[in-house]
Copies of this chain bind each other. A is one copy, B any other.
Amino acid sequence: MQEKYLKLKGLLAEAFDLDRATAVLGWDQQTYMPPKGAVDRGEQLATLSSLSHKISTSPEIGELLEDLVPWAQTLDQDSIEACLIRRIKRDYDKQIRVPSEFVAEFARVTTIGQEAWVKARTDSNFASFQPHLEKIIAMRRDYSDFFKPFDHIYDPQLDDFEPGLKTTEVQAIFDALRPQQIELLQAIAARPQVRDDFLHLNYPDKQQWDFGVEVVTRFGYDWEAGRQDRTAHPFSTTFSINDVRITTRVLEDLVTSSMFSTMHESGHAMYEQGVDPSLARTIIQDGASMAVHESQSRMWENLVGRSRPFWKFFYHRLQEYFPTQLGNVDMETFYKAVNKVTPSLIRVESDEATYNMHIMLRMELEIAMMEGSLQVKDLPGAWNERMRKYLGITPPNDRQGVLQDVHWSGGMIGYFPTYALGNLVSAQLWEVINKDLPDLEAQIERGEFSALLGWLRMNVHRHGAKYEPQVLVERITGSKIDPQPYVKYLRRKYSDIYGL
């Protein structure tokens, strides 16, 4: 049986290597590829994906699983073998339910859809994107149908990004969260605003870059197993446990953009650098889910990077990088500025207090479209109505409203919730960490992060994708994903900043 296990592992390691090669080609495309290279790169990426898919859905895998699944059930359920076979079985069963013609057709539809979205967004004209989104939603409904019976048509969508998570669970979480966030936002809106004008002076590129590097080096990002490059949109990408890269974009008129995105991406990257090497070249050499991944990036960006202890240590360094811009701004003023709450039209520019509202809005609309209770043609109206209800503002056009995100045009339905869930998980973990490391705040004030990173390595990172997200969160915190720690965290933080 051991031999069959190694056979299965070896076959899928090839698919894994192809996927990592795809990641390298994708990274190169975003960082260094010359402009004319795009078309052929597309062919190369398509070939690698199709070969990987062919391997991981081959009948040979199915035959090996027939013997290995019962065997794995006799093992320690926390063993790598049991966890890996469970995950392979899960992915295999999902993949073979989806006909390859559907996969090819959906790739075609979303490629065209993304082009249409780019144009529609430029023209701020939802109508031109509408037929494409209608087709995409129809195909996502077909996709869900491959997984019948389901409790909810949105379940198979969600499950692609959050293994095992159900629509009713997420709805319950967000139903508990929504009124509390709205209440907090209204309380903040009633208070005088903090100033942040000095964040928008001219901050030269090189110093911004160097400060970001200094911060994440202290965090513990391993530069021997990673690097940072420039891209239009920051991301992190994994070529192996020993090569996890981050990218950033520096805006010279906004000092906070690159700084926090570097911390954010380093959070993703340290997660992947910290996976147990015995999981290497398997599909569980990965984060547990998008939400758990986001819990790591948001923790380093917000719970650490936007905290007062962090700035007690780092602010004088930042002032040294930017003496003319920040020499006369005291730390408290700066701290409040980087935590300013403003309802904004654009999700990616929004602050910790409003971010989840953008997410809930999107998820509700996704579910309504999947259920059929909302027609695509009515989406812009529904969007604007919710923006008014949740954030009190109305998009002046589709570009700054319903057309702002790439996700739907790329066929990603069920992805948005993971951002908000990540915020919630980050605060849940933070409560446990602070119990386990009672002097964490003092450590951060001294610029020490090794105990924090060590805790995350031990409790989160090393497990890779051995466990489903709810299982992992419950193992660590004693409960499944729960919005209360995040709400408590926001209340405490903003009560202090805004004097609620």
Contact = CB atoms under 8 A, between A and B. Distances in A.
A21 B17 contact: no
B239 A43 contact: no
5 contacts: A18-B51, A32-B229, A34-B227, A34-B242, A40-B243
Interface in A155-200: none
A1 interface: no
Contacts of A37: 225, 239-240, 242-243
A33 interface: yes
Contacts of A34: 223-227, 242-243, 245
Contact of A241 (B40, B51, B224, B240): B40
Given A28-B28, A47-B14, A48-B17, A36 B243 contact: yes
Interface in A400-427: none
A18 B36 contact: no
B47 A240 contact: no
Name the residue in A13, A21, A226 with the highest tally of chain B Cβ atoms < 10 Å from its Cβ: A21
Given A13-B43, A44-B239, 7 more contacts: A13-B47, A21-B24, A21-B47, A24-B24, A34-B226, A41-B239, A51-B51
B240 A40 contact: yes
A280 interface: yes
A51 B14 contact: yes
Contacts of A438: none
Interface string A48-70: 10010000000000000000000
Interface string A1-38: 00000000000011001101100110010001111110
A348 interface: no
Which 5 pairs show the lowest CB-CB distances between chains A and B? A40-B240, A37-B243, A17-B47, A36-B242, A36-B225
B21 A44 contact: yes
A21 B40 contact: no
Q: Is the interface of A mostly helix, strand, loop or mixed?
A: helix
Interface residues of A, number: 38
A232 interface: no
A40 B227 contact: no
A48 B243 contact: no
A39 interface: yes
Interface of A: 13-14, 17-18, 20-21, 24-25, 28, 32-37, 39-41, 43-44, 47-48, 51, 222-227, 229, 239-243, 245, 280-281
Nearest to A241: B40
Contact of A48 (B18, B35, B226, B280): B18
Given A41-B239, A240-B41, A281-B43, A21 B36 contact: no
Contacts of A13: 43, 47
Given A40-B241, A41-B239, A242-B40, A21 B48 contact: yes
A367 B104 CA distance: 53
A492 to B, nearest CB: 39
Contacts of A25: 21, 24
B36 A224 contact: yes
A238 to B, nearest CB: 10
B224 A40 contact: no
A243 B47 contact: no
Contacts of A21: 21, 24-25, 44, 47-48
A17 B44 contact: yes
Given A21-B21, A28-B28, A47-B13, A33 B243 contact: yes
A234 B493 CA distance: 54
Nearest to A225: B36
A39 B242 contact: yes
Contacts of A224: 34-36
Contacts of A226: 34
A24 B20 CA distance: 12
Contacts of A223: 34
Nearest to A50: B14
A226 B35 CA distance: 9
Contacts of A17: 43-44, 47-48
Given A33-B243, A34-B223, A225-B36, A18 B41 contact: no
A427 to B, nearest CB: 32
